[in-house]
Structure 1
Amino acid sequence: MDWITHEEDVWFDFRGSSPNQLVSGRYYKGTVDGFADFGVFVDLSPGVTGLLHRSELDRRLESLDWDPGDTVFVQVKNVRDNGNVDLAWSIRQTGDEFRGARIHDPDGDADGEAIEADGDDGDDDSGPVRQTPTPRDEALNGDDTEHGDAEASTTDAEASTTDADAAAADTADLDRVDVDSLDDRVGETVRLEGEIVGVRQTSGPTVFELRDASGAVDCAAFVEAGVRAYPDVEVGSIVRLDGEVERRYDELQVETEALSILSDDEAATVERRLADALTAEARPESVTTLVESDAVDAVADDLIDAAETIRRAVLESRPVVVRHAATADGYVAGAAIERAVLPLIRAEHAAADAEYHYFTRRPLEESVYDMDDATNDVTRMLQDRDRHDEKLPLVLLVGTGSTVESSDGLGLLGIYGARRVVVDAEVADAAVADDCEAIVNPGLAGADAADLSTGTLAATLAATVDSDVRDDLVHLPAVSYWGDAPETYVDLAAEAGYDADRTRELREAIALEAYYQSYEDKRELITDLLFEDAGGLAGHVSEQFRQKLDAEVDTATANIETREEGDLTVEVLDTDAYTHRFDFPPTALLLDELGRRRDADLIVGVGTDECYLRAAAAVDVRGVASDAADRVEDAGITAASVRDGRIEFLSGRRDAAVDAVVAAAADRLA
């Protein structure tokens, strides 16, 4: 029977009693039983339940518009030896989207019988009837004739060509429309022209993400379950696509009927249209300032260039990866960028979960973007490119990557073609400009940025990226300063309803959360703290911060060794012996707090093979490391992170190295 050959086009009503009676590859009608973090449980019959794992979905689990008891269609992927049933996603979620319906009754006489429209399956809503295929059905699902029929001996390739020609003929008279008009064209067959910016293969159709001058939309093309449609179409292809506009679970989608790659003059016309629209939309006219600042004015052009690069990445459907230090200032800076970019992604992409595909924040343990960090990022981006046909990302380094210690990591990104932008209000090396497309740093522009935090600079950049969010960001500068924030930013926050106590609570709460699970972005939690909290959450977390920090400061203070180096008072703390190394606060934050509370000229925190410098006056960390290395040549002394004041040495020469570092620092501070 022909339905046996083409079971992928038929759904089944399962009336068996054992998972082992299911047939892998078949589509079954089921009922949503419940949800878990890892997927959806679907009942296929009384006593037989399968799991549709979230990895099998073509969208985020949270975006499924399913409720317990809803009728859904799934494909049986595998039945395990223990009876567990693995299910796969079906793009077709109504009975009439299939080309037939059958009973699977392994213990009864009805097995294989067709389910007719009058409800032979016992379910009033299930009545798809086996119909004569239309040209559009054939284009989506392939030929459905008996293989033994002499008139049906056409090869699959010939049938596919015939179907494609028929579909093209049906849509030959269509006029091109823009993606941003599709909301008003649901149910219509339309023509789109643009660039393919994403391709993903689901267990059902191939989904192409097409971007034109007005936006992007997912276009599903089906030839056979799990089989790549239009294999010649890749990310970067300039195409013409005809299809019917549908709305699935509140998301627009185009069911592809014809798709062709454009070339020569036609492709050039579309590319010019995209480029002109991109340039016009991507570049801001001016910097959107929060307050007047000479340091910000000095980097105005750089801010506009960086904002254009970010906006262009969104418009090109290029993922944006923000790397920032896992500190309060770093999180404030990263969250500001996130606040500006997410609305642009939502406006650009029809998919409800696009913001999770096209924007990521990844905190760094320190302020150096090293080879370890770069290797992790390159591995992820190459996997996303190969598995999901994603474009290589824009990597935005905020408060990190600005010194030559990060050159190797930046260089690795560059080898693979990832775009790099560095934003840092503090120390930066001019040589880094050769390792990235743009760097925003007031010091390199010749400005005095002593009163400018990276959080403030990033908030200004964010407002320039999307001026609509400026009012959401005005309190962030005051949150980003550990010392006394400039009065202008304190006043700005107060006008927005954030007094000094509240900004302090936010700062401390962010610092505590930045430490725990420091490799996670904690998007929703940070959003709740910085933008949604009425005071309760930040106050609760801030209290824990203060208790933990005060206890650690007391312990450290009791175990500080005081030295006199000339006229300077130097305090040395063995952080391995007299801190809780794997609990809050981290060493850098503890030493910062000791520096604020104590009167020493220099504080040195000493670990197994590294030390941190905190001085009342500016200290040249590289110079100190170089001088110390000259004093003890066999200790391997080197500056590891200028921004963090960290110097490394060989653990076997720890005592000699520390003595050399203390003496060298005292000489330079004298």
Structure 2
Amino acid sequence: MGTCIICGTPVEGRICDSHQEDVVFEFRGNEASQLTPGRFYSGVVDGYADFGVFVDLASGVTGLLHRSELDRRLESLDWEPGDTVFVQVKNVRDNGNIDLGWSIRQSERDFRGALVQDADGDHDAEESDESGDAEDEVETPTVRHGSASRDESSESDENGKSDENGKSDGSKESSESSENSGADDRTGDAREAEPTADYERVEIGTLSDRVGQTVRIEGEVVSAQQTGGPTVFEVRDETGVVDAAAFVEAGVRAYPEVDVGSVVRLDGEVELRHNEIQVETEALVSLEGDDAETVQSRLDDALRGRARPDDVTPLADHDAIAAVGTQLQDAAEEIRRAVFESRPIIVRHTATADGYVAGAAVERAVLPLIREEHAKSDAEYHYFDRRPLEEAVYGMDAATNDVTRMLQDRDRHGEKLPLVLLVGTGSTVESSDGLDLLSIYGAKRVVADAAAVDAEIEESTDVLVSPVLADADASDLSTGALVANLAAAVNDDVRDDLRHLPAVSYWEDAPQAYLDAATDAGYDETYVRELREAVALEAYYQSYEDKRELITDLLFDNGVTPDGEGENAGNLASHVSEQFRLKLDAEVETAKANLESREAEGVQFAVLDTDAYTHRFDFPPTALLLDELHRREREGEKFVTVGVAMDELYLRSTADVDLRAVAEAARERAPEAGITAVGIREGRIEFLSGRREQVKEAVVEAVAEQLA
């Protein structure tokens, strides 16, 4: 029994429940599960990602401070890797991920007290230091991917004792290590050495059997991260990837001539820290000439064998998929190669049900490969990102965003330039400028689209997957179905997880083979419809966010809420689908009451003023509303639904319409209106708002003429 350090109340430990948030804790445990949600902890900035900041609370225990938790823009945060910061632990998930919260208090003196928390409980800092002296003398600090441990980044005194904050500097153990291995210690007097000993080269994949041994590895540097302590190089050979920590002095770049892409020879001691293999670098050199070529050739040969799938087995019998088998192999090879090269993968897809199904399928296939390749809890956040688009065009706005972020990641985190995978977007000439901007910087571009593909775009991509270019009938193929098959080619181990996705991607007329596959996987037609509607609703809200966990719960966890019991138990997809149906039905009924019906050249038209008779800034979006309105109202072989807003117009037709030809013919009728076909997949035409009525008439006449 102790007393609370704030109020003196008798408690078990050193702080009472009412003062938990008045104290800052230094965490000296070794597992995330030992943390206490609600408490404030000191930590060390590991690094930045697009969505927040990673903070090390202890060696091997890292949390994410999401940008939504900040009280300012992420870009304005002045923290640097290695800085000591203060955060609140909001939640510790079952998988070990730690959700952090912002703390306005960023100094220890802003708190009313300070304690140390370890696996045994809470202690005063002095007590913990005394009890930990013996252990500190023999345990080497852990180096995590992209970060320094607390001990490595702290100031040390002559005797290697703890600093004023109670953090051990580890200089004694480093000295002992250098005596035994000839390596430089961590006191700031280190030398950068080149390999001189005649060690036998070993493969990274065998390092788990060589803990404690000094080995030589040869490979390519795939990232180089300067932390507040060591420089951490991520090195890849033909069998895997490993972190190698090289130390000169705290925060100083070791081996500055070695950078991402360098082919290197490295000698070092293999260590196991919290079940992660790492190498303590003793000597490192960049290879050149024949030596570099030999290593690079070995890597390329092994990578080619690992990356290319032997064949493509469709998720269901579908002629359009069979026609693009080689294209799918090529795309799958590029994606797998990116994983094995430690190259980030950026997926761009439309913020629609079809787009989310496609993006989620790739995510389901790629994340396990990243986890297997890197064996780091945060690797999937560094090497995979899914970024929805509101439009089916990869324009300069999106491309500029991607280029800016990839250059920041290259400069800040030492990452390679990414592979950008565009699904259901980027396939028409309207996306050429965006794709070409990526090309200028050397980013890989893979495009997969089931429809509306222009042959000219092939020059702006590394791989283009298109049934249209294969002269195949793609009338019954959705992009979600196409990309789900691509995902199965990328990772056959998740094939069973993907079988129902193609059926979910169709709003109507899904091929029976996909419906049967979904049924076999446990998803009947009603459930498939509910999934589609639920994803469509969630796609609309926070449209620029990937909503990874929510989409995963919907598409892959049988729709059951996390608790699985109690008043919140039930089918998540059914619940969200009901909201979708209520909102959509109400909007459709309003629109139907305000449709303008007309006939021209034997073509039936239903025209809706979407500015006047829809809630344009609430669900459903205009495109989805017009899709549903067209399905419910269409009559005959030639029926066209037209939605006209202030400066854009949407077309839906039961017969094939050449949108560009319609725009050109309408432009001849209204030459001052600035008519342009901008969204081929969406059936969208833009114009000058001042010519709105003139454009509406010109487009109706052009469509009637084309279909007559």
**TM-score class normalised by the smaller sequence:** 0.7 to 0.9
Structure 1 residues 289 and 54: CA distance shift in structure 2, 3 A: same
Structure 1 residues 132 and 276: CA distance shift in structure 2, 3 A: closer
1:59 Cα offset (Å): 5.8
For residues 62-81 of structure 1, the aligned pairs below 5 Å read 66=61, 76=84
Match of 1:160 in 2: 191
- Contact persistence 1:190–1:242 (CA under 8 A): yes
| Partner SS, residue 210 of structure 1 | strand
Match of 1:599 in 2: 634
Mapped partners of 1:362, 1:550: distance in 2: 29
1:129 Cα offset (Å): 8.9
Match of 2:309 in 1: 284
For residues 88-99 of structure 1, the aligned pairs below 5 Å read 95-96=136-137, 97=140
| Partner SS, residue 241 of structure 1 | strand
For residues 320-469 of structure 1, the aligned pairs below 5 Å read 320-469=345-494
Mapped partners of 2:107, 2:242: distance in 1: 41
Q: 1:645 aligns with which of 669, 683, 697?
A: 683
What do residues 133-160 of structure 1 show as CA deviations (whole Å, max 9, x unaligned)? 347278544567xxxxxxxxxxx6xx62
Instruction: Please tell me whether residue 41 in structure 1 is matched to residue 83 in structure 2.
Output: no
Match of 1:617 in 2: 655
Match of 1:182 in 2: 207
Mapped partners of 1:67, 1:326: distance in 2: 31
- Contact persistence 1:562–1:572 (CA under 8 A): yes
For residues 509-528 of structure 1, the aligned pairs below 5 Å read 509-528=534-553
Mapped partners of 2:158, 2:341: distance in 1: 50
Q: Given residue 473 of structure 1, which amino acid in structure 2 is its aligned partner?
A: L
For residues 118-133 of structure 1, the aligned pairs below 5 Å read 130=172, 133=175
| Partner SS, residue 556 of structure 1 | helix
How many residues align? The count is: 593
Over the aligned positions, Cα root-mean-square deviation in angstroms equals 3.4
What do residues 168-222 of structure 1 show as CA deviations (whole Å, max 9, x unaligned)? 45xx132111111122223332221100011111111111110000011111111
Which 5+ residue runs of structure 1 have no aligned equivalent?
A: 1-27, 43-49, 69-73, 88-92, 105-110, 145-155
| Partner SS, residue 302 of structure 2 | helix
| Partner SS, residue 673 of structure 2 | coil
- Contact persistence 1:326–1:515 (CA under 8 A): yes
Mapped partners of 1:246, 1:557: distance in 2: 69
| Partner SS, residue 233 of structure 2 | strand
- Contact persistence 1:139–1:223 (CA under 8 A): no
Instruction: Please tell me whether residue 220 in structure 1 is matched to residue 245 in structure 2.
Output: yes
Mapped partners of 2:306, 2:660: distance in 1: 43
Mapped partners of 2:227, 2:157: distance in 1: 28
Match of 1:574 in 2: 609
Structure 1 residues 35 and 628: CA distance shift in structure 2, 3 A: farther
- Contact persistence 2:228–2:251 (CA under 8 A): yes
- Contact persistence 2:44–2:55 (CA under 8 A): no
- Contact persistence 2:232–2:244 (CA under 8 A): yes
1:62 Cα offset (Å): 9.9
Structure 1 residues 112 and 638: CA distance shift in structure 2, 3 A: closer
1:567 Cα offset (Å): 2.4
Mapped partners of 1:409, 1:539: distance in 2: 38
Q: 1:485 aligns with which of 500, 505, 510?
A: 510
Mapped partners of 1:296, 1:56: distance in 2: 40
Structure 1 residues 64 and 304: CA distance shift in structure 2, 3 A: same
Match of 1:18 in 2: none
Flag the structure with larger Rg. 1
- Contact persistence 1:420–1:438 (CA under 8 A): yes
Q: Given residue 413 of structure 1, which amino acid in structure 2 is its aligned partner?
A: L
Match of 1:307 in 2: 332
- Contact persistence 1:56–1:203 (CA under 8 A): no
Mapped partners of 1:493, 1:132: distance in 2: 58
Structure 1 residues 95 and 428: CA distance shift in structure 2, 3 A: same
1:446 Cα offset (Å): 0.6
TM-score, normalised by the number of residues in structure 2: 0.77
Mapped partners of 1:470, 1:62: distance in 2: 37
Match of 2:118 in 1: none
1:61 Cα offset (Å): 6.1
| Partner SS, residue 242 of structure 2 | strand
| Partner SS, residue 541 of structure 1 | helix
| Partner SS, residue 191 of structure 2 | helix
Structure 1 residues 632 and 489: CA distance shift in structure 2, 3 A: same
1:29 Cα offset (Å): 7.1
- Contact persistence 2:55–2:62 (CA under 8 A): no
Mapped partners of 1:441, 1:574: distance in 2: 35
Mapped partners of 1:397, 1:549: distance in 2: 28
Structure 1 residues 129 and 348: CA distance shift in structure 2, 3 A: closer
Q: 1:565 aligns with which of 569, 592, 600?
A: 600
- Contact persistence 1:490–1:500 (CA under 8 A): yes
Mapped partners of 1:127, 1:571: distance in 2: 75
Match of 2:9 in 1: none
1:256 Cα offset (Å): 1.3
Mapped partners of 2:242, 2:184: distance in 1: 19
Mapped partners of 2:246, 2:202: distance in 1: 19
Q: Given residue 566 of structure 1, which amino acid in structure 2 is its aligned partner?
A: E
Mapped partners of 1:229, 1:188: distance in 2: 22
For residues 470-509 of structure 1, the aligned pairs below 5 Å read 470-509=495-534
Q: Given residue 375 of structure 1, which amino acid in structure 2 is its aligned partner?
A: T
1:608 Cα offset (Å): 1.2
Mapped partners of 1:316, 1:400: distance in 2: 25
Instruction: Please tell me whether residue 635 in structure 1 is matched to residue 673 in structure 2.
Output: yes
Q: Given residue 686 of structure 2, which amino acid in structure 1 is its aligned partner?
A: E
What do residues 600-643 of structure 1 show as CA deviations (whole Å, max 9, x unaligned)? 51111111100100112111111111100000000000101111
- Contact persistence 1:414–1:435 (CA under 8 A): yes
Q: 2:575 aligns with which of 526, 534, 540?
A: 540
Structure 1 residues 572 and 83: CA distance shift in structure 2, 3 A: farther
Structure 1 residues 239 and 654: CA distance shift in structure 2, 3 A: same
Mapped partners of 1:455, 1:646: distance in 2: 21
Structure 1 residues 132 and 281: CA distance shift in structure 2, 3 A: closer
- Contact persistence 2:46–2:227 (CA under 8 A): no
| Partner SS, residue 311 of structure 2 | coil
Match of 1:260 in 2: 285
1:477 Cα offset (Å): 0.8
1:131 Cα offset (Å): 7.1
1:657 Cα offset (Å): 1.1
What do residues 565-608 of structure 1 show as CA deviations (whole Å, max 9, x unaligned)? 23222111111221111111111000000011112511111111
| Partner SS, residue 406 of structure 1 | helix
1:224 Cα offset (Å): 1.3
Mapped partners of 1:126, 1:652: distance in 2: 71
Mapped partners of 2:169, 2:186: distance in 1: 23
- Contact persistence 1:252–1:351 (CA under 8 A): no
| Partner SS, residue 133 of structure 1 | helix
Q: Given residue 179 of structure 1, which amino acid in structure 2 is its aligned partner?
A: I
What do residues 492-512 of structure 1 show as CA deviations (whole Å, max 9, x unaligned)? 111111100111111111111
Structure 1 residues 391 and 433: CA distance shift in structure 2, 3 A: same
Aligned-residue identity in percent: 59
541-550 vs 574-583, which moves further? 574-583
Mapped partners of 1:657, 1:613: distance in 2: 13
Structure 1 residues 571 and 307: CA distance shift in structure 2, 3 A: same
Mapped partners of 1:265, 1:237: distance in 2: 14
Instruction: Please tell me whether residue 659 in structure 1 is matched to residue 694 in structure 2.
Output: no
Match of 1:584 in 2: 619
